[in-house]
Amino acid sequence: MVTRVNVYVVLSRSRTVLSRTIALATRDEFTHSSLALDPGLDLMFSFGRRRAGNPFVGCFRRERFDDGLYRGMDVVPGVVLEVPVTPEQHEAIRVRVTEFLLDSHAFSYNVRGLVGARFGRGHEAEDRFFCSEFVYHVLHGAGVCDLGVERWQVRPQTLLDLPGRVVFRGDLKDYVAAHGALATLPSLTFHHARERVLG
């Protein structure tokens, strides 16, 4: 019998102009995606804006629902998708995320790819990603899934097709609070998060 562990894909939607524009263009319910290594979403990562007020300057970052653009939101609508993986796949995911953490300065947000994808003309680069592109890149690279599309074609909503199950739908702040993660977040800096992922 194959031992299974899990990773978590988090889909969300904010109130930003960019999020509303994407939702209008795609008619998708969710406009952002993140990858978490733990059920409490304490170690959750993605590509997103560096500062809440600027949607076009982004980076690889650890995400949390009490900071950044989520700080001013009373409710963060979203879903948590539990994706079963083998221990070997989980290790491959951890290693890849570690590479992003160690070289975070070398990666940037794939604005060109995000805009091009809306017109069916994607742009892929090894050092540039948008959120769903990153999530799929890591999971596909670990052998977890193959959605039969190029990585630039993957939207947050597309990730609902991953092999897994929705374990939560609603206010993501409620989900995190129920798992006790918010109580530990203030002392968990990006450096500490990196140390934990590195093991």
Q: pTM for the whole thing?
A: 0.83
Kindly report, residue by residue over 6-34, the tens digit of the pLDDT. Answer: 999 999 986 655 555 555 555 668 999 99
What does the pLDDT read at residue 156? 94
What does the pLDDT read at residue 1? 60
* pLDDT at residue 177 is higher than 80: yes
**Looking up tokens 């969300």, which residue turns up?**
12
Phi, psi of 177, rounded to the nearest 5 degrees: -65, -40
What does the pLDDT read at residue 67? 73
Of 164, 137, 174, 180, whose CA–CA distance to 47 is shortest?
A: 137
Higher pLDDT, 118 or 167: 167
Walk me through the domains of the chain, giving residue ranges and CATH numbers: 5-198 (3.90.1720)
Kindly report, residue by residue over 94-120, the tens digit of the pLDDT. Answer: 999 999 989 888 888 887 877 777 777
What does the pLDDT read at residue 182? 44
CA dihedral 51, 54, 57, 58 (to 10 degrees): 50
3-state DSSP assignment of residue 195: helix
